[in-house]
Structure 1
Amino acid sequence: MNRTARKLVTLASALALSLVAAPAAQSAPAAQSAPETYWTPDRMRSAVPLDAPTVSPWRVRATVPTGEPATVAPLAFPNGGSAWTGGGAVVTTAGRVFFTYQGRNASCSGNAVTSTNKSTVITAGHCVKLDGAYHTNVVFVPAYDNGNAPYGTWSARATKSTPQWEATEDINFDVGAIVVSQLNGQSLTDVVGAQGIAFNQPRADNMYAFGYPAASPYDGTKLIYCSGRTFNAFLSTGIGMTCNMTGGASGGPWFRAFSEATGTGTLTSVNSYKINLIPTWMFGPYFGADAQNLYNLAQAL
């Protein structure tokens, strides 16, 4: 990992930390109950959003992948961040991820995907591990509704990240996976459904991003979406989209070939980081071989 990449990761982690450790956060008790019972409605409502890491453009050298355009034509009807009212499968496959990070209760977003074990949720790497340690008390709450869990609170039995995120928290590989335990004798995707997932897809595409942003001006109570044409990121090897979502949206799914009628699509990235001077852009990691290996590892557990 080169010096500029290390600076990027260090700055991203530091800024994420400053937001997560806000005074309003509720501390986790020394002796914790099972995750599914620990996360009461009040604890979910008061969890501090783990912000998408924010980076300063002058601290890193631009890196644009070759063979793809740096900018592309926008989607005809782009959306920068509105409440999703369309219904469909995404309402139940998407949800909030809650966890304890450095003694604080925090939140991200995630999405259930098709998997062999019917129990795999894809999210961002920093939503399962940050600053050298994996989070504890991890749960997935599909279709989260202002403290309510209409489809249950699903406890993680395993959390994983890409080798690069595991080793150095490299923002280029900010992908995580959560494998949840059964609930009431049922597997997750048998209850809430699942979205498809794909790798090595075109970088420039019409895509939809979803999440539960909980930092102002959002409050974490609604599923928010963005839509538009993706473009190559210039501070990482990932992709970008015009999107106003804030902290708490990290780990939310990016779909290609998304149908507004059915709420289904193919997951090919997740909300990862933002640039502090351009808050209207969101960036996600490109899902290549390493993301695919992570998915295969998770679905086999």
Structure 2
Amino acid sequence: MRTLRATLLSALGVALVGAVPGAALADPGTPDTIRAAAVTVQEQADVAAYWTPERMREATPLDLLTVEPSEVSADVAKGAPEVVEATDSPVDTTAIPNTGGEWTGGGDVVTTAGRVFFTMDGRNASCSGNAVTSDNGNTVLTAGHCVKYQGSWHTNWVFVPGYHDGQRPYGTWTAASTAATPQWVASEDMNYDVGAAVVNPLNGQNLTDVVGGQGVAFNQPYNLSMYTFGFPAADPYDGEKFIYCSGSTIRDFLLTDDHGMSCDMTGGSSGGPWFVNFDEATGTGQQASVNSFGYVFLPGYMFGPYFGAEAQNLYNEVSAA
């Protein structure tokens, strides 16, 4: 598998808004996959106070990872449209296709999903995330590049569930720790672009006691009916609306074995949840991926990492923290 580190070294096409070119990546030895964040009462207060409405409005949307045509063979790239249509198992076509509209259906997803804000390389940025069921009641899943990028862990990390139009109806939850898969921490391999945070209790309550939590599914088959959500903030979106895509997914045909979907979401949606068995009436499902990357030569498609053993190990580790 090609790693994101190899991609960065061989092409200019893989980049994130606000990234510093040439920053050193972590040593590919045994990585420290969990980083302490706001632990003390004072640290929590300082981080919460940092995120004023103005800073949230001005936060730069962190891009979805992108792959240039130079990263795949010309023959494969040229044949991509035909390969996209191929499937290796029956397709569940339950979901009504949508490529990037505002979610107006309500349900639990409106409260479990939210915006993620953090400081990266001295600049404020945003992603998306989702509260999931866990032993500690305070676990949020997101993308790996929404907790760490180019060797540096993000700081001032907070989760704002139910964010809309500048409102924070369920408060601002500071991270006690952030984490990512070993493959992402060691070499920023886009195939394992999965991150998580354990947030601190707020006003004496755990996160999922306040907003609920979605189930998590691992080792799922391909070519399913899925829904994906996020808060894209790059044009034509502004980060103030809760956006979703839905429809039949494909298995990535080039660099990874990840899930793909026709979806027009932009930067800021990174880390938003992908659901299987999603019920529009209740807004519930099982999370099986996160918004991660796209191919430059295949506009209108978004891809998310496969939730296999590595993602499951990460979830088990942080949910018990």
Q: Shared fold by TM > 0.5?
A: yes
Aligned counterparts of 2:301 and 2:159: Cα–Cα separation in 1? 26
Shift of the alpha carbon at 1:69? 2.3
Aligned counterparts of 2:277 and 2:167: Cα–Cα separation in 1? 30
- Shift in CA distance, 11/20, structure 1 to aligned 2, threshold 3 Å: farther
Contact 2:89-2:222 within 8 A present in 1 as well: no
Shift of the alpha carbon at 1:33? 6.8
Q: 1:150-161 counterparts in 2 under 5 A?
A: 150-161=169-180
Contact 1:228-1:242 within 8 A present in 2 as well: yes
Any unmatched runs of 5+ in structure 2? 21-42, 78-82
Shift of the alpha carbon at 1:146? 2.5
Residue 302 of structure 2 corresponds to which residue in structure 1?
282
Aligned counterparts of 2:72 and 2:91: Cα–Cα separation in 1? 23
> 2:255 matched to 1:243?
no
- Shift in CA distance, 9/187, structure 1 to aligned 2, threshold 3 Å: farther
The secondary structure found in structure 1 opposite 2:203 is coil
RMSD: 2.6
Aligned counterparts of 1:266 and 1:189: Cα–Cα separation in 2? 15
Contact 1:13-1:53 within 8 A present in 2 as well: no
Superposed CA offset, 1:114-149 (max 9, x none): 000000000000000001111000000001122221
> 2:32 matched to 1:20?
no
Question: If the length of structure 2 is used for normalisation, what is the TM-score?
Answer: 0.84
> 2:40 matched to 1:40?
no
Question: Identity over aligned residues, as a percent?
Answer: 61
Contact 1:83-1:225 within 8 A present in 2 as well: yes
Contact 1:9-1:169 within 8 A present in 2 as well: no
- Shift in CA distance, 74/189, structure 1 to aligned 2, threshold 3 Å: same
Superposed CA offset, 1:84-143 (max 9, x none): 000000000000000000000000000000000000000000000001111000000001
Aligned counterparts of 1:194 and 1:13: Cα–Cα separation in 2? 38
Aligned counterparts of 2:267 and 2:279: Cα–Cα separation in 1? 26
Shift of the alpha carbon at 1:57? 3.1
Aligned counterparts of 1:73 and 1:259: Cα–Cα separation in 2? 14
Shift of the alpha carbon at 1:174? 0.2
* Count of aligned pairs between the two proteins: 289
Question: Which of 53, 56, 64 is residue 52 of structure 1 equivalent to?
Answer: 64
